[in-house]
Structure 1
Amino acid sequence: MKRVVATGTFDILHPGHIYYLEESKKLGDELWVIVAREKNVVHKPRPIVSEEQRLKMIRSLRCVDHAVLGDQTDMYKPIREIDPAVITIGFNQKWSEEKLTREMRERGISAEVVRIAEYSGMPFTSSTKIIEEAVRRRSQ
Structure 2
Amino acid sequence: MTRRIVAQGTFDLIHPGHVHYLADAASMGDELHVIVARRENVTHKEPPVLPDRQRRDVIDALEVVTEAHLGHTEDIFVPIERIDPDVIVLGHDQHHDDDAIRDALASRGIDCEVARASAREPRYDDELLSTGQIIDRILESRGCGGSGT
Give TM-score scaled by structure 2 length. 0.91
The list of structure 1 runs, each at least 4 consecutive aligned residues, that deviate by more than 2 angstroms after superposition, is: none
- The aligned residue for residue 119 of structure 2 is 118
Q: 3-state SS of the aligned residue for 2:35?
A: strand
SS in 2 for 1:21: helix
Tell me if the contact between 2:122 and 2:128 (Cα under 8 Å) persists in the aligned partners.
no
Task: Single out whichever of 101-110 and 21-30 deviates more from structure 2.
Answer: 101-110
Q: Which amino acid aligns with 2:18?
A: H
Q: Using the TM superposition, name which of 43-52 and 121-130 deviates more.
A: 121-130
**Structure 1: which 5+ residue stretches go unaligned?**
none
Which residue identity is paired with 1:70? G
Q: CA deviation at 1:117?
A: 2.1
Deviation at 1:20, TM superposition (A): 0.2
What letter corresponds to residue 126 of structure 1 in structure 2?
S
After TM superposition, give the deviation of residue 119 of structure 1 in Å: 1.0
Correspondence 1:131 to 2:135: yes
For residues 99-129 of structure 1, the C-alpha deviation after alignment (integer angstroms, 9 at most, x for no partner) is: 1111111111111001112211341110001
RMSD: 1.1
What does residue 61 of structure 1 align with? 62
* Identity among equivalent pairs (%): 39
| CA distance in structure 1 between the partners assigned to 2:93 and 2:115 by the alignment | 13
Distance in 2 between residues matched to 1:64 and 1:20, nearest whole Å: 11
Contact 2:59 2:68 in 1 (8 A): yes
Larger CA Rg, structure 1 vs 2: 2
CA distance in 2, matches of 1:39, 1:60: 23
